[in-house]
Amino acid sequence: MALANNITAVRAKINEALAIAGRHPEELTLVAVTKYVDAPAVKALIAHGVGHIGESRLQEAARKQAVLGDLKNSFKWHFIGSLQTNKARQVAAGFDLIHSLDRMSLAEALHKAGRNLNKEIPVLIQVNVSGERTKHGIAPGEVGAFYAEVRKLAGLRPVGLMTMAPYSEDPETSRPVFRELRLLFEQIKQEYNPGPQWRELSMGMSNDYGVAIEEGATIVRIGSAIFGAGTEG
Ligand SMILES: *Cc1c(COP(=O)(O)O)cnc(C)c1O
């Protein structure tokens, strides 16, 4: 019951933020971050119409996918954690969107994996907007140059940007971070003309997804607001 109530509350808040911003519900993807929970809780999401899963560790995700069997195909799988280069191949094969491209060596490894799989691996460039030393991501001033290199790699399809705001009780603290990510996204669009495939802004977590949607998020990544407070990553 808690799960149903939480999802209903999250959807209500998402719709409220979309309405404030004058945006359509189709412009927003809810990714349920399942790193706190096991396969049965993932499975329970199907009944609630949640079709996107976010996981931050390859091994745990692979274990849950194995338990789910064919039911894993009920979901699109998002890789949201920091990614070791030697795991690029597995993540490229097992996930639908990688949110955490943060360095050239990883871009090259994913490109190679894409060539081997005969597909373009969809990726988001992770940006460290806030400059926190504990956070991964490309510095805002270097994102354009990084994108220019990544777009040359035929095994990759860069579709947008991702960021994490510093944790705060007050979601307004995140607003300038999200606004800057949106600006960087628009700058790349103008400078490189990437076409319609350049369309995703992954920003907003349990504490700040309302603000993120107001600032233009197309993907929100929500864990504890769905699976209960007190869950630890
Ligand atoms: C854990 C995690 C989330 C979800 O965090 P909540 O605060 O539980 O919603 C979102 N994005 C990333 C990258 C995460 O690691």
Terminal-to-terminal C-alpha distance of the chain:
22
* Mean pLDDT of the 166-187 span: 97
Give the per-residue pLDDT at 230.
Answer: 55
Q: Which atom of ligand 1 is nearest to the CA of 233?
A: 1
For ligand 1, say whether the CB of 233 is within 6 Å of any of its atoms: yes
Q: What is the CA radius of gyration of the chain?
A: 17
Cα 118 to ligand 1 centre (Å): 31
Give CA–CA dist 107/155, Å, rounded: 9
Mean of per-residue pLDDT scores for the chain: 96
The answer to whether the CB of 10 falls within 8 A of the CB of 229 is: no
* Mean pLDDT of the 73-92 span: 97
Question: What would the CATH number be for the domain defined by 2-227?
Answer: 3.20.20.10
Residue nearest to atom 10 of ligand 1 (CA): 221
Rounded to two decimals, the pTM is 0.96
For ligand 1, say whether the CB of 205 is within 6 Å of any of its atoms: yes
The full DSSP string for the chain is -HHHHHHHHHHHHHHHHHHHHT--GGG-EEEEE-TTS-HHHHHHTGGGT--EEEES-HHHHHHHHHHHGGGGGGSEEEE-S---GGGHHHHHHH-SEEEEE-SHHHHHHHHHHHHHHTSPEEEEEEB-SS--TTS-SB-GGGHHHHHHHHTT-TTEEEEEEE--PPP-SSGGGGHHHHHHHHHHHHHHHHHH---TT--EEE---TTTHHHHHHTT-SEEEESHHHH-TT---
The yes-or-no verdict on residue 232 having pLDDT over 50 is no
Give the per-residue pLDDT at 229.
Answer: 67
For ligand 1, say whether the CB of 212 is within 6 Å of any of its atoms: no
More reliable by pLDDT, 232 or 75: 75
The model's pLDDT over 187-206, given as tens digits with 9 standing for 90+, comes to: 999 999 999 999 999 999 99
Residue nearest to atom 6 of ligand 1 (CA): 223
The yes-or-no verdict on residue 50 having pLDDT over 70 is yes
Residue nearest to atom 11 of ligand 1 (CA): 221
Q: Which atom of ligand 1 is nearest to the CA of 31?
A: 10
Residue 173 neighbours by CB under 8 Å, 6+ apart: 165, 166, 208
The yes-or-no verdict on residue 228 having pLDDT over 90 is no
Q: Which atom of ligand 1 is nearest to the CA of 224?
A: 8
